[in-house]
């Protein structure tokens, strides 16, 4: 009898939601699970790799469901998809272990929690993997900063994509604030915006995840 499991996918920007990252991660998770696990659901967070569990709405939803229904296995594509920062990797792993959850890496096939608990050498290797992911991120941030500084020096500005705090999104934010005050769910708000012909900035339709992200970034209760 196959065990039940959840998949967890993380992308580090909203733009990646439209690319093949989430699809690839989900496919690798399902391929690893074949014959061994039944994937009940795959949760996808749009957060940076240095965000802890308090800033991961889908991770929180997954853990709430785990505590309700007894699923005790989570599969990620790799440790860098759980988090790039080693400190956050360790924090999330400790949290998962404390709840009796087993974490598998689809990329290596390794039972991460078992390896950490039972093999000091593998624990060190996993720690090194987290450190190298953190180093890679630090190098990427440095390269991006250098590129932005070069553009700013050449053109006098370096603008990113508009966010929901921009004036062009005032009506959308207004409705999200108003509906949040009367305790409408993120799913309800997303459907209302879609039915009233509002369009999200970087997608075709609003989803509950987009609403949660906007509320988090704009600190809407």
- pLDDT tens for residues 137-148? 565 566 666 666
CA angle, corner 123, sides to 117 and 124, nearest 5?
A: 155
The tokens of 220 are what? 């809407």
Q: Is the pTM of this model over 0.85?
A: no
Give the domain ranges of the chain.
3-127, 167-217
Q: Which of 116-125, 201-210, 212-221 has maximum average pLDDT?
A: 212-221
Architecture of the domain delimited by 3-127: 3-Layer(aba) Sandwich (3.40)
Average pLDDT over residues 85-104: 82
9 in Cβ contact with 62 (< 8 Å):
no
Average pLDDT over residues 172-182: 90
Average pLDDT over residues 169-175: 87
Average pLDDT over residues 107-116: 86
45 in Cβ contact with 9 (< 8 Å):
yes
**pLDDT averaged over the chain?**
79
Q: Name the β-bridge partners of 105.
A: 76
Residue 42, pLDDT score: 92
Average pLDDT over residues 79-104: 83
In this prediction, residue 176 has a pLDDT band, given cuts at 50, 70 and 90, of: very high
Q: What is the DSSP letter of 2?
A: P
Beta strands (DSSP E) in 12-159 are 37-46, 73-76, 102-105
CA–CA dist 59, 65 (Å, integer): 10
CA–CA dist 66, 73 (Å, integer): 9
Q: Which helix (H) or strand (E) holds 3?
A: strand 3-11
Residue 29, pLDDT score: 96
Residue 144, pLDDT score: 63
- pLDDT tens for residues 116-163? 777 776 666 666 655 655 655 565 566 666 666 776 676 665 555 556
The tokens of 79 are what? 């440790």
In this prediction, residue 54 has a pLDDT band, given cuts at 50, 70 and 90, of: low
Residue 55, pLDDT score: 72
Average pLDDT over residues 201-221: 82
Residue 17, pLDDT score: 46
Residue 75, pLDDT score: 97
Note the Cα 79 to chain centre separation in Å: 13
CA–CA dist 134, 139 (Å, integer): 9
């Amino acid at each position: 009898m196959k065990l039940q499991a959840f998949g967890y996918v993380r992308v580090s920007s909203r733009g990646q939601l439209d690319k093949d990252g989430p699809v690839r991660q989900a496919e690798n998770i399902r391929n690893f699970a074949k014959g061994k696990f039944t994937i009940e659901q795959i949760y996808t967070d749009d957060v940076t790799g240095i965000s802890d569990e308090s800033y991961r709405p889908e991770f929180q939803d997954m853990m709430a469901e785990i505590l309700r229904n007894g699923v005790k296995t989570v599969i990620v594509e790799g440790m860098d998809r759980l988090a790039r920062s080693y400190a956050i990797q360790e924090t999330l792993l400790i949290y998962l272990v404390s709840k009796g959850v087993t974490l598998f890496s689809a990329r290596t096939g390794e039972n991460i929690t078992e390896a950490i608990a039972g093999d000091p050498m593998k624990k060190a290797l996993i720690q090194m993997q987290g450190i190298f992911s953190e180093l890679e991120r630090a190098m990427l941030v440095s390269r991006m900063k250098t590129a932005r500084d070069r553009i700013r020096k050449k053109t006098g500005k370096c603008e990113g994509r508009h966010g929901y705090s921009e004036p062009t999104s005032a009506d959308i934010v207004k409705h999200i604030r108003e509906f949040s005050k009367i305790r409408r769910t993120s799913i309800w708000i997303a459907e209302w915006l879609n039915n009233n012909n509002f369009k999200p900035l970087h997608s075709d339709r609003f989803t509950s995840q987009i609403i949660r992200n906007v509320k988090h970034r704009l600190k809407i209760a």
